[in-house]
Structure 1
Amino acid sequence: MIKGIGIDLIELDRIQHSIQRNSRFAGRILTQSEKIDFDALKNNRRQIEYLAGRFAAKEAFSKAAGRGIGKLSFKNIEVTANTYGAPVMNVAGYENWNIFISITHSRDYAVAEVVIEEKD
């Protein structure tokens, strides 16, 4: 049974400005594993897209779960990739839920959608 659906849209410029204003911004959003992947990206544009996608995904999850990001921590939500490169979301405390995620980018925006359902 579907328990929730969430979507989030973020401007890439907003993420870029946040990084420029606060050098610790990425570290506040990303888990340790995500931060390693972020730091490995050589292209600044790709780093912004990566961070924006993770930010949107975590916001979308909080909406799907019916809880604000203030009730959840960005650090409790991790987005990795499966063997094909598709995003996979793991959330501490939500191991009994199936979580489906999609992330996309355009020139100006990143969008993420999350659907969560109860495991049978």
Structure 2
Amino acid sequence: MANHDSANEVFLALADPTRREVIRALGRGPASVGELAHPFAITLPSFMKHIRTLEDSGLIRTSKSGRVRTCILDRDRLAVVEDWIEEQRHVWDDRTDRLEALVTDPEETR
């Protein structure tokens, strides 16, 4: 159940396009909140809500040095998404394999 809850937190955080863009930007390396917020036409307080959501989900970590808050992507946390996708891939591969066998093997229809 804990893993299921963990996946829900991560997928909820990734549901928003702004947060996905932040994750994409952090994939290139750490960045300050100001640098990350620059391309978006939203207020800094609104952008900070996105940062808090990503931080609460564990996808990013932040640290403050003076007045600058720097964000770092936690790549290990993305493994939750990768694991879920891999699990789904196996389910659908099994289903399509059975369907293919049913369609191509005349003995299967009996």
Same fold flag (TM > 0.5): no
Higher relative contact order (CA 8 A, sep 6+): 1
Q: Higher helix share goes to which structure?
A: 2
Larger Rg: 2
Greater share of strand: 1
